[in-house]
Amino acid sequence: MSYVCDECDRHFKYPKCLKTHHLTHTEKRLFKCHLCEKAFVRNGHLKRHYLTHTGEKAYFCDICAAGFSERYKLNRHNKTHKNDRNYACQTDRKQFSEKCTLKSHSVTHDVHSREKKYVCFFCEKKFSTNRHLSSHYLLHTEERPHACEVCGKAFAQKHHLMRHYRLHTKEKPHSCDVCGEAFSRKDTLKRHDNRKHSE
């Protein structure tokens, strides 16, 4: 089933995507690009748009490492690899077209399993680096140095702020390799995978 915008006939897979898209027709576009005069409803969309001018790549293909400035371009590119994925990771079931790419991906699992010798004084949680422990300590204090530019909500850790931004941008960077459903958080994708696709 497809949901169609009555203003511009664009098609969407989910009703909430159509609802978000509708804002582009109804709300004032207050965030203007000073390089090309394109305007956006949300500041996060403007920030993402700037990548098209700088050439900076924010999204990378996990198969061939090609970089893209916009998420939809990566998604379109990923479709070219659908039949190429012959190597599967035994830990998280991600699939790759080359054995060397699978090997470099597998290293990410090794990093998580290395010895955790840094222990939190407050809750005894363990970390493999002192930097991760220092960042974790902020959760136990009132310090919230990372604030959202859109709504002002503040966070102790930067990655929590980055995850929060996805609420404003509606970005869903984690997609299921089996059915294609996309999620804003990695842990939500894992829960989905365990519920829908576990053998």
Q: What pLDDT does residue 110 have?
A: 62
Q: Is a pLDDT exceeding 70 seen at residue 85?
A: no
Contact 96, 89 (CB under 8 A): yes
Instruction: Give me the residues paired with residue 133 across strands.
Output: none
Rounded average pLDDT over 110-123 = 72
Q: What pLDDT does residue 113 have?
A: 57
Q: What pLDDT does residue 109 have?
A: 66
In this predicted model, what pLDDT tens digit does every residue of 176-187 receive, in sequence order? Answer: 888 888 888 888
Cα–Cα distance list, 140 to 89, 112, 117, 134 (Å): 36, 23, 19, 11
CA angle 95, 58, 32 (to 5 degrees): 145
Q: What pLDDT does residue 111 have?
A: 56
| Percentage of residues in the chain having pLDDT higher than 90 | 0
Q: What pLDDT does residue 61 have?
A: 78
Q: What pLDDT does residue 22 have?
A: 75
Q: How confident is the model at residue 89 (pLDDT cuts 50, 70, 90)?
A: confident
Q: What pLDDT does residue 112 have?
A: 55
In this predicted model, what pLDDT tens digit does every residue of 5-63 receive, in sequence order? Answer: 777 777 777 787 777 777 777 767 778 888 887 887 777 778 777 777 777 777 777 76
Sign of CA dihedral 67, 2, 181, 174: positive
Q: How far apart are CA 133 and CA 16, in angstroms?
A: 38
Q: Which domains does the chain have, with CATH numbers?
A: 3-54 (3.30.160.60), 118-169 (3.30.160.60)
**Average pLDDT of the chain?**
77
Q: What pLDDT does residue 68 have?
A: 80
